[in-house]
Structure 1
Amino acid sequence: MSINSTALQTSAVINEAVQTLRDGGLVAFPTETVYGLGADARNPEAIQKLFTAKGRPSNHPVIVHLAAPEKYDAPQVDWAALLSPWVRDLSEDALQLINAFWPGPLTLVFKKDKSVLDEITGGQDTVAIRAPAHPLAQTLLRKFKGGVVAPSANRFGKVSPTSAADVRSEFEGMLDLMVLDGGDCEVGIESTIIDLSSGDHAVLLRPGAITPSQIFAKTGIKVSQPGEVTATHSEKNIPRVSGSLKAHYAPTTPLRLYPPGRVLDALSEFPDIKSRVAVAVWDSDSSLGHDGHPSVYFEEVTVPSDSAAFASRLYRSLRDLDQLGWDLLLFPEPPAGEEWDGVRDRLQRACFGSGPSSSNHASN
């Protein structure tokens, strides 16, 4: 079942989606990052249905999505009351981050309240939470009056969806899946994840549109990289989170990255699969030309040299190219700088998982 964006003004549509969630069904809905596949975060059977639909391992945690409280005339939103059913304790740093960046593409990891289902956390003592900024997501969550777990609305390990059409193509056999169409996603890659569960450090677990520099500039909070944290918060205690597997976001077509100015070298490295190649080039670069490679048929695909625009179109480009029958996709290595860390992370995982056997990589 698909609901078009033009119909979304009617509360009847949202009410139907809310009832579907309450009845233990699944609802795909847009966020500013990617489309999520939503289930009631308090319903173990609904969560199991979600994991089965995605083919997602049951020990892989999911993010709880909450509505931002209605501000009305309140000088400050009371996030503490909203989070108390989910989170054991809320630090001053957490409240600063929430007030600065929620609703928005920032997920925070806390020590969980004892009532939070193990099905959500992968059996860990932490829970990941965010408040998405997309108005349709906010309306749905506010009317639902509860938490909704919503990993990306795609088969596990594959390219995340940034349109309702992507969701429908992923789950075309699921006739009872309700899909809310809120247009194309603006941000285009999944949220930044910050771990606050240690109590004394904010640790970056997944890069995204919100960078550590932006967080420091707005809040004065220093975000550490996992390797920078002292022995009291060792690597083994950092919680597993969504999208942290080595192979993820992967197209079926083999995907490789090439260093600056080395695209023709990259073409030579793959003699077995180089007959038809799609080469992504920066919009600021000149055309490659076909000199010296008569055996290769390649087409150039222009990609934005602005990090936010590149992120916004990344999954769209991968999905579209994946359907065109290329033997190889070549993308430029993103430049240095933390504003590129999110797309660099997604591209590296996509490369590792890509290829005809990518469904097997996802379980590694």
Structure 2
Amino acid sequence: MSSDSSPLQSSAVINEAVQTLREGGLVAFPTETVYGLGADASNPEAINKVFTSKGRPSSHPLIVHLAAPDRFDQSEIDWVSVLAPWVRDISEDALKLIHAFWPGPLTLVFKKDKRVLNELTGGQDTVAIRAPAHPVAQELLRKFKGGVVAPSANRFGKVSPTRAADVRHEFEGVLDLMVLDGGDCEVGIESTIIDLSSGDHAVLLRPGAITPSEILAKTGIQVSRPGDHRPSSGDLPRVSGSLKAHYAPTTPLRLYAPGRVLDALSEFPDTKSRVAVVVWDSESSLVLEDHPSIDVEEIIVSSDPSIFASRLYRTLRDLDEQAWDLILFPEPPAGEEWDGVRDRLQRACFGSGPSSISHANS
């Protein structure tokens, strides 16, 4: 497994990564959200390597990552020409969203062009696309001059990586993988996904750092929730991270309601020794004398939603490696700014525990 230990990658290293992609190899690279496991989006064999390496079901679609072209003297980037090989129609709303949020942590779902491989769409007639903002990702994509699929660089259903070391730990000795080190990911959770494939309204398929309120404020576009306009979500496109179990540690993970940590401990009598209890930095220390038989350690986390999101996977990975019997997280507060991490934690809880791999595939 080759990599560069410096977060600032040289042009020579980027060129090597580009050549690896062109030859059908895999390259892990940083985005502002999480590290992605990259492969040439026009190469069926390379795409199959991604599914095989991750243990990801082939019906679970991938997101195509594209570069933002250099502006030169243009007042706006010509995204239409960038998207032309991938999507069938580009609406005015799509262009508003693109100009407001790309490059950035927003994925848009379109009706796909006939040239787009079924291998990357899970057999659907839609394709998900985003332009990552991380400078290493942008340089790699610009030099590659094509689309790159890049699901999170980890085993399917497990905690997403936010550092190059996470990727190396995940695949060490198993996969011949080039890893580009771009430092810690700033956003820390996967992109917001908006469906534009119906043509008449935008639908939120996965919450993330960019919220419907922010979209409305910047573009005037009202983003619906699944079910607002359709009788069921069955006809919505399948997208990454939408399975009930995902982002899961091997250690059992549970959420507790505000002020109910003692109740949460009592609900899990099978946990007899070591429990990691995550608490907000705005709260006082917990009083746990009622459970003298349990070794409890507090882990303080930020009550700022952006900071919490940026450190969520790092915290889950660190705790998962410390051999706790149970991890307790506080339920995130109400509000759109917390929807992304609430979504990730709920799926992580469902999939957590020693049998998490079988949960992820259910």
Tell me which residue corresponds to 1:241. Answer: 239
Partner of residue 77, structure 2 = 77
Contact 1:109/1:197, CA 8 A, preserved across alignment: yes
Distance, in Å, in 1 between the alignment partners of 2:199 and 2:101 is: 19
Q: Is the 8 A contact 2:24 2:39 kept in 1?
A: yes
Distance 1:224 1:326 in 2: 40
1:204 counterpart residue number: 204
Structure 1 residue 294: Cα displacement: 1.0
Cα offset, 1:174, TM superposition: 3.6
Aligned length: 362
C-alpha distance in 1, partners of 2:2/2:156?
A: 21
Could you say if the C-alpha distance between residues 154 and 76 of structure 1 is closer, same or farther in structure 2, counting changes exceeding 3 Å?
A: same
2:289 partner amino acid: D
Secondary structure of the corresponding residue to residue 249 of structure 1: coil
Residues in 1 aligned to 2:70 and 2:5: alpha-carbon distance in whole angstroms? 23
Partner of 1:325, secondary structure, is coil
1:219-230 correspondence to structure 2 within 5 Å: 219-230=219-230
CA distance in 1, matches of 2:347, 2:339: 12
Q: Which residue of 2 aligns with 1:262?
A: 260
- What do the CA deviations read for 1:116-154 (whole angstroms, capped 9, x no partner)? 000010000000000000000000000000000000000
Q: Which residue of 1 aligns with 2:300?
A: 302
Aligned to 1:275: 273
**Superposition CA RMSD, Å:** 1.0
Normalised by the size of structure 2, how large is the TM-score? Answer: 0.98
Structure 1 residue matching 2:109: 3-state secondary structure: strand
Shift of 1:274: 4.1
Alignment of 1:58-77 (within 5 A): 58-77=58-77
SS at match of 1:151: coil
Structure-2 change in CA distance of 1:236 and 1:243 (3 Å): same
Per-residue CA deviation, residues 186-213 of structure 1 (Å, 9 max, x unaligned), is 0000000000000001000000000000
Corresponding residue SS for 1:243: coil
Query: What SS class does the counterpart of residue 98 from structure 2 fall into?
Result: helix
Matches of 1:129 and 1:250, distance apart in 2: 25
**Distance in 2 between residues matched to 1:175 and 1:147, nearest whole Å:** 22
Structure 1, unpaired ranges of 5+: none
Query: Which residue in the other structure is 1:24 paired with?
Result: 24
Describe the shift of the 1:259–1:58 C-alpha distance in structure 2 as closer, same or farther (beyond 3 A).
Answer: same
Which is worse superposed, 321-330 or 284-293? 284-293
Q: Cα–Cα, structure 1 residues 207 and 180, in superposed 2: closer, same or farther, change >3 Å?
A: same
Q: Which amino acid aligns with 1:316?
A: R
Find the counterpart in structure 1 of residue 10 from structure 2: 10
Aligned partner of 1:280: which letter? V
Letter in 1 for 2:218: K
Distance in 2, Cα, partners of 1:354 & 1:175: 24
Identity %: 80
Residues 1-364 of structure 1 correspond to what in structure 2 (within 5 A)?
Answer: 1-4=1-4, 6=6, 8-174=8-174, 176-231=176-231, 234-364=232-362
What are the ranges of 5 or more consecutive residues in structure 2 without an aligned counterpart? none
2:97 alignment partner, SS class: helix
Aligned equivalents of 1:298, 1:81: Cα separation in 2: 56
User: Which amino acid in 2 is paired with 1:262?
Assistant: R
Which one-letter code corresponds to 2:84 in the other structure? S
TM-score normalised over the length of structure 1: 0.98
Give the SS at the match of 2:168. helix
Distance 1:43 1:84 in 2: 18
Q: Is the 8 A contact 1:2 1:181 kept in 2?
A: no
Aligned residue identity for 1:223: V
Contact 1:14 1:140 in 2 (8 A): yes
Q: Quick one: structure 1 residues 170 and 73, their matched pair in 2 at CA, closer, same or farther if it must change by over 3 Å?
A: same
How far has the Cα of 1:230 moved from its partner?
3.6
Matched position secondary structure for 1:6: coil
Give the Cα separation in 2 of the matches to 1:8 and 1:267: 44
Report the AA paired with residue 257 of structure 2.
P
Equivalent position amino acid for 2:65 in 1? H
Shift of 1:5: 5.2
| Contact 2:7–2:181 (Cα < 8 Å) also in 1 | no
Per-residue deviation, 1:176: 2.2
CA contact (8 A) 1:274 1:328 kept: no
Deviation (angstroms), 1:3:
2.7
Is the Cα–Cα contact under 8 Å of residues 257 and 331 in structure 1 kept in the other structure?
yes
Whole-Å separation in 1 of the counterparts to 2:272 and 2:207: 32
C-alpha distance in 1 between matches for 2:189 and 2:26: 22
Aligned in 2, Cα 1:5/1:76: closer, same or farther, shift over 3 Å? farther
Q: Displacement, 1:296?
A: 1.2
CA distance in 2, matches of 1:26, 1:132: 18
Distance 1:336 1:37 in 2: 33
**Do the aligned partners of 1:31 and 1:134 also contact (CA within 8 Å) in 2?**
yes
C-alpha distance in 2 between matches for 1:10 and 1:356? 40
2:228 and 2:280 map into 1 onto residues whose CA distance is 33
Matched-pair contact (CA < 8 Å) for 1:7–1:13: no
Q: Secondary structure at the match of 1:193?
A: strand
CA distance in 1, matches of 2:359, 2:255: 18
Shift of 1:70: 0.5
**SS of equivalent residue, structure 2 residue 6:** helix
